[in-house]
Amino acid sequence: MNCSISGEPTLNPVLSPVSNAVFDRALLETFIAQNGTDPITGVPLTVEELISIKTPAHGLVRPRTAAVASIPSMLAMFQSEWDAITLETFQLRQELLKARQELSTALYQHDAAVRVVARLMKERDEARQSLAQLSASI
């Protein structure tokens, strides 16, 4: 969504109920503080009247400016993205290790439960057999 004032994509979009236009919150709040009106219609507007628009955090990628096209800035951008990917990989590995440990514990508990059930079934069968022999002898 693009801001109706600047034409740039908004990070924190809000809707003006007066003009039904989308604005960036910071830019519109500054305009309202200076003028007290809606930038499109000129009708009085307060910050409390603004309606926040929910957008997914991952859905908006700002376009790169011409200053980012220089080699040093691109290297800095690559380094920061590499750092972010490294941190995410580290977190994912920690989560994987935790999940493996939980699965291992669950597997051992299940194996122990199966062994207990098998032992109890064996004891039950032996008790039935002993009872059958005892009743046959009486």
Question: Residues 49-74: pLDDT tens digits?
Answer: 999 998 776 555 666 666 667 888 88
Residue 75 in any domain: the answer is no
Q: Give the per-residue pLDDT at 118.
A: 98
User: What CATH number does residue 53 fall under?
Assistant: 3.30.40.10
What value, to the nearest 5°, has the Cα angle with vertex 31 and ends 68 and 51? 90
How high does pLDDT run on average in the chain?
89
Alpha helices by DSSP H, the chain: 25-35, 71-137
Residue 81 in any domain: the answer is no
Q: Which residues of 26-62 are buried (b: 16+ CB within 10 A; e: fewer)?
A: ebbeebbeeeeebbeeeeebeeeebeeeeeeeeeeee
Q: Give the per-residue pLDDT at 111.
A: 98
Question: Residues 69-107: pLDDT tens digits?
Answer: 788 888 988 999 999 899 899 899 999 999 999 999 999
Total number of domains constituting the chain:
1
Residue 1 in any domain: the answer is yes
Residue 98 in any domain: the answer is no
Which pLDDT band, with edges at 50, 70 and 90, does 132 fall under? Answer: very high
Residue 138 in any domain: the answer is no
Which whole number is the average pLDDT over 31-41? 90
Residue 102 in any domain: the answer is no
Burial of 106 from C-beta contacts in 10 A (0-12 / 13-18 / 19+) = exposed
Residue ranges making up the domain that contains 18: 1-63
Dihedral, 101, 107, 113, 119 alpha carbons, nearest 10: -130
Residue 9 in any domain: the answer is yes
Residue 84 in any domain: the answer is no
* d(C-alpha 108, C-alpha 123), whole Å: 23
